[in-house]
Copies of this chain bind each other. A is one copy, B any other.
Amino acid sequence: MKGVTKLKYKKIPEATIRRLSRYSRSLEEMEGKGEKVVSSALLAKKCAVNAAQVRKDLAYFGEFGIRGVGYYVEDLLNNIKKILGSNKEWKMAVIGIGNLGAALLSYKDFLKQNYTIVAAFDIDPPRVIGRVSEKLGKPAEVIHINRIKEVARERKIDIGVIATPPSEAQSVANLLVEAGVRGILNFAPAQVTVPAGFVVKDVFFTTILDNLAYLLSTETGYSIDRK
């Protein structure tokens, strides 16, 4: 068994993956500036982490640097993208076109290019189409949730974005699972569980704000969050 597939030998910390994403962003910036080589020390500084941390993170996946030199920006960036899977095109669907869902649709061009929203679902399309069209500036297509299985297959949806009220989150997740959508980004502040093989990531604005509020309430002062 050669070192073909990563992650068979060690489990990669979530934190490492988060940092890789950060490195990726920094590297893109550097690449844009035409910089060819970067040291772990410089990359670390740009990302506000420890230099050894940078090297350890990368070491999980291979040897990408040259001793005495550093890392080739372009090469490292490509490798990180390969690791993260962000070289692939990911197709998303937003479910629940209320304020949040509509906001996400209009925000879509802010997302990195390899993530695209290819469908919008709601339980009552006629009711919400006006709102979305207003935002998008054209007659919008909002599909009834009961067609999600068929549409998910047709459009090869990878990620479902739950933007419904919390009470509906679990049943929407169930539909996504049934439809074979393996990734779920959950904006509804509710516990969602899925079977093995599926992945849920929560984005709870209230939790983030509560965190901020806590830090502001304490006299602790200085804190830059890197989560």
| Residues of A bordering B, CB below 8 Å | 5-7, 14, 17-18, 20-22, 24-26, 46-48, 83-86, 88, 90, 98-100, 102-104, 106-107, 109-112, 115, 134-135, 158-159, 182-183, 185, 189, 191-227
Q: A215 contacts which chain B residues (CB < 8 A)?
A: 183, 199, 201
Closest CB in chain B relative to A227 CB, distance in Å: 6
CA distance A226 to B201 in the complex (A): 7
Q: Establish whether residues B222 and A46, one from each chain, have CB atoms under 8 Å apart when the complex forms.
A: no
CA distance A211 to B90 in the complex (A): 12
Q: Quick one: given A111-B209, A207-B21, A221-B197, are A202 and B226 in contact (CB under 8 Å)?
A: yes
Q: A48 contacts which chain B residues (CB < 8 A)?
A: 191, 193
CA distance A217 to B6 in the complex (A): 11
Q: Establish whether residues B206 and A112, one from each chain, have CB atoms under 8 Å apart when the complex forms.
A: yes
Q: Could you say which of B134, B135, B194, B211 contacts A21, with CB atoms under 8 Å apart? A: B211
Q: Establish whether residues A205 and B111, one from each chain, have CB atoms under 8 Å apart when the complex forms.
A: yes
Q: Establish whether residues B185 and A202, one from each chain, have CB atoms under 8 Å apart when the complex forms.
A: no
